[in-house]
Every structure is written in C-alpha cells, then in structure tokens.
Amino acid sequence: MTGSLPAGIADFRDGTEPTDPWVAGEPLPEALAVVPANPDWPERARLLGDAILAAVGDAAVSLEHVGSTAVPGLPAKDVIDLDLIVLDPDDEAGYVPALTALGYRHTVREPALDGHRMLRLDDPRVNLHVFAPGTAEPARHILFRDWLRANPDDAKRYAEAKTAAAEGAPQTAMAYNRRKHATVREIYARAFAAAGVPLGDRALAPTTLPELPRTAGGEPLNWRPATDADAEAIWELFRVAGNVDHPHELYGLDLVKLWLTGDRFTFATDTVLAFSQAGALVAFGEAKLDDDWRDQVDVFIDGVVHPEWRGLGIGSAMLAWQEARGRQLLGGVEAGLPGMLSFGAREANTDILALAADAGYLPVRWWMELGRPLADEIAVRDLPAGVELRTFAPELSESTRLAVNDAFRDHWGSRPMTEREWTDELELDEFSPELSRVLVTDSGESDGQVRVVAAVLTEVNEDEWALNGGPFGYMSTIGVVREWRGKGLSSAVISAALEAYRKAGFVNALLDVDSANPSGALGMYERLGFQARDRSVTLAKWV
C-alpha cells in the first residue's frame, strides 16, 4: 500500500454475505432531505466531538468529522457524521455507557467491518461510527472527505447524486446509500488513484479463474478459448441473439472481427466459447483491456448467450469468469488511473439488467437512440463567414480525426482515437463517405490546408432497413471542435447530412447520444426534430 493508508483500503468486501447488523431492529423508512450547506456544521461537529472525547476518556484514540457536512459548501442531509477510533471496539462496556449517557442510542454492531459500531443521536442528528485503530473503513471516509474538499467537480457530482437519491418516498439509510452507490464508487476510484494506491491493489485480481459450468439444463457444455477462425460463428451467434437483444440493429462481420483485435488482446487468455454436445456455439465472452488510456483504464466484458440456452446459469457463470479475467488484466497495469469493468445493454433487456444487478454491476451512464423522419422540413442553416461545407474525402481524414478527438475530449468515457483505430473505423463496410459531411475553415497556413471544425460521419447498413421502417442513415459520429461551439455549426452540419440522406432516398435518420452530454447535444437534437426511440445503459464496476 502507499503512505499511511492501511492495507485493504480499496477492498470494499463486495460479495461478502451480509449479516444482521441491527442492535434493536432495522429503523423504519423516513423522509430524507438534502439541504444547502450550513456553515455552522463544522462548529456543531467540534462541540459534539469534544463532548464525546470527554465522556469516553482514555478509551478514545481519535475523532474525525467526516461525511458531507465536513465538506464546505456541499449540500447534505442535516446529519453530522463522526468517526470515533477506540482502542477496542469489542469492549463496548468501555465506551457505550458513556455515550448513552449523552443521549446516543446503540443501533449497529458489525465487528467484522473493522470493529464497526454505530450510535445515533436524535437531536441534533448525529451518526457516530466507532472503529478500531489503523483500519480501512475510517481511512476511506477521510480520503473521500479530503478528495471532495479538493475537487469541486466531484463534489458537485456527489451533490447531484445525493439529491437524486433522497427524492421520492420515505426510505431507509441503506436504500438511500444504494441509490448513490455508483457515484460514490466512481469518486473513490479517482481518489484511490490520486492517493497512489496501485491499480494492482485496487483490482483485487484472483490468482485463478472460476470454473465454467460443464452442463446446462442437463446438457453437456464444452468450453475453449476463441481463435480468429471463430469470427463467423461468433457473428452468427450475435445475429441470432440480436433478434432479442437489439432487434433494430445488426452487427456486421467486419465489426465483430474488429472487436476481436487489440494490442493488449489475446484470444487464448481473454475469451471463452461454449459449445453444445452437438457442436453448436451457445455462448461467447471476452474481457478486453483497452489499447489506450487517458482518464481511466477500461476493460470491456462483452458477451452473449444463445436465446435458447438462457436461464440455465451460463450467463452468470460467464460474467463471473469475465470479471475475474478483467481484474487480472487491470491488476497487471501500472498506471495511476481509475479502472473500470463495463458492458452495455438496452433498457428493455430486463433479464440482462437483472443479471448485471445480481453480479453487482450498476448503471453509470444512459444513452438514447434518437430518430427523425426525413419527410419533415429540414431547416437551412447559415454558416459563419469563412466556414465551408464539404463532403468527406480522404484528404480530409486526418483533420477530421483531430477534430473528432477535440470534440469528444470532455465527453464521458471518451479518449482520443489513434490513427490506426480511425482507419479501422473508416474501413468498415458500413461507413459511407459520400453521405458524411464536414465543415472546414482555412487554417491560415501558407500551404492553403483547411481545418475541419465540425463533422457528421454516416454509416449505412441496408440489412437493417427492413428492421427500421425503411432506408435510413445512421449518424455514427457528430462533433464540433470545442472552440467553435456555440456558433450553430452542429445544427448546420447535421442539417446538411439530413438533406443528403433525403436526396439519397432515405426516409429516416438515426443517431445515439449520451443523455448527459456536456455539449447540450440532446436538446439540440430535439430542436432539429429528433425523438427518442430506445434507451441503453452502461453497467460498470469501478476499480
């Protein structure tokens, strides 16, 4: 571990079978309210702490004001959280009577969690947590508090999560904590990385991978790693499963082959295939370490089970294998960055969402598929002086790559595309350069080169037309260089692409958008006539 941080600080003991922690029964649900920050909270915490230390005496080692009320300016529930470190939490006679004399009620006993006890004061409201010296949980609380104090963006993100979690009907504190759990883990991942906790320690990588089931529904299963010769069989499995999982979308063989490549990807260790006794492919799974990193280290755990073989435990077992392998991959990375294991699913795929929830994966980002009929009016958008509309051409490729990388620099989960990755994308059969549009401006260079400042890249898959009500173009990439935002370029280049689609005889245009896009794109798309058709979600675990 690093510095003064205790061993195990990054181990939240996920998967540990819970025990009943309540001393006198679980509290009833209550209405929760997140209120604006109160400048009196620190002084209130100091006075409460002084009284606690005086009452407990020599049994106390230290006391810290933690939680949201310890972060200046952070909205919070009007509850003071204090962490009291005592010499021996199991010796309750040495401190509990002194605290009950102050009006505290002993409510929680969790000896296995770093000796944790909790006592509650009702007026003013206080949650007093008791821990053993040198343990991980109180150190985590201090790390989290100090990180929020120093990082206003994460403090804002946490405030939004807290406010959303408190909304609605009365609930227990544990239910409230579950509703903001994903955001808490995301922030912890950044705080651990910044504190120098190695990714190898955070990944909690197993030494061996879990066994995969040898039977399902009474039928034998044969497992082996994939090879590049299996690409067509995997593609066919995705096609069959797609009738259920993504009925409006077909994956091309070249796209599946691209998924099975990568500088850090190895078939023999990072993939599994399951075959029936008759030799039919019934499941595919992979754990793929991303080739390049910027803000985080990603492992993508894509997988699919044949619809006729679902509900037999194959998916859950394979997901456990993929996560274990993903943790091994993360554990081998020397980078001071957060790590994440993730996969995606449509919101309508409730079975997959349930499988993810059972395995501890939480929604971290929502995506919307939008559509627009081309029969509707397409407004003509004027371009600023010096900006010209062009059809995408090879000589504009590199400038377009640089523009897209700049446009997505502040988008969640995005990283710059390398030249090779860009070329791979443009070489997909579905890419349609003649229906892609870019906006360019003179760069001012003496050689007369232009600079791409906005782009719409288009994909066309005729096999999907019958699934989507007729011919359509899919806007796979839409971006505006950040210094050119706010000048109407997005609307202009999208309108130009829409007009190109209509001239090509298409009836619809489709695109996908991050529902929390920082550029405000969702509202802009809606103003251009796009409407929601479907939703999907990224499910993840932060490391």
Give the Å distances, CA to CA, from 361 to 158, 301, 358, 520: 19, 12, 8, 27
Helices (runs of H) and strands (runs of E) counted in the chain: 16, 20
Both tokens assigned to 422:
């860009």
Q: Is the dihedral of CA 170, 176, 182, 183 positive or negative?
A: positive
Identical fold, 215-360 and 370-534: yes
Q: Which residue ranges make up each domain of the chain?
A: 34-197, 215-360, 370-534
Counting every residue written for the chain, the total comes to 543
Q: Which residues of 12-22 are buried (b: 16+ CB within 10 A; e: fewer)?
A: beeeeeeeebe
User: What string of H, E and C letters represents the secondary structure of 88-117?
Assistant: CCCCHHHCHHHHHCCCCEEEEEECCCCCEE
Calculated CA dihedral for residues 320, 535, 365, 79, nearest 10 degrees: -100
Q: What is the pLDDT along the chain (543 residues), one digit of tens a residue?
A: 345 799 899 999 987 878 899 999 988 999 999 999 999 999 999 999 999 999 999 999 999 999 999 999 999 999 999 999 999 999 999 999 999 999 999 999 999 999 999 999 999 999 999 999 999 999 999 999 999 999 999 999 999 999 999 999 999 988 999 999 999 999 999 999 999 999 999 999 999 999 999 999 999 999 999 999 999 999 999 999 999 999 999 999 999 999 999 999 999 999 999 999 999 999 999 999 998 888 899 999 999 999 999 999 999 999 999 999 999 999 999 989 999 999 999 999 999 999 999 999 999 999 999 999 999 999 888 999 999 999 999 999 999 999 999 999 888 777 889 999 999 999 999 999 999 999 999 754 445 678 999 999 999 999 999 999 999 999 999 999 999 999 999 999 999 999 999 999 999 999 999 877 555 678 889 999 999 999 999 999 999
Homologous superfamily of domain range 370-534: Gcn5-related N-acetyltransferase (GNAT) (3.40.630.30)
* H helix or E strand, kind and range, residue 489: helix 489-503
Q: pTM for this structure? A: 0.87
Give the right CATH number for 215-360 from 3.20.20.140, 3.40.630.30, 3.40.50.300, 3.10.580.10. 3.40.630.30
Q: Which has the closest alpha carbon to 321: 299, 306, 337?
A: 299
The C-alpha atoms of residue 38 and residue 77 are separated, in whole angstroms, by 10
Q: Which residues pair with 438 in a beta bridge?
A: 390, 455
Burial of 6 (0-12, 13-18, 19+ CB in 10 A): middle
* C-alpha dihedral sign at 232, 233, 236, 242: negative
Instruction: Calculate the average pLDDT of the chain.
Output: 94
CB atoms within 10 A of CB 110: 18
Q: Tell me whether strands 105-110 and 116-122 are parallel, antiparallel or unpaired.
A: antiparallel
> What CATH number does the domain located at 34-197 have?
3.30.460.10
349-366 as b/e: b if 16+ CB within 10 A: beebbebbeebebbebbe
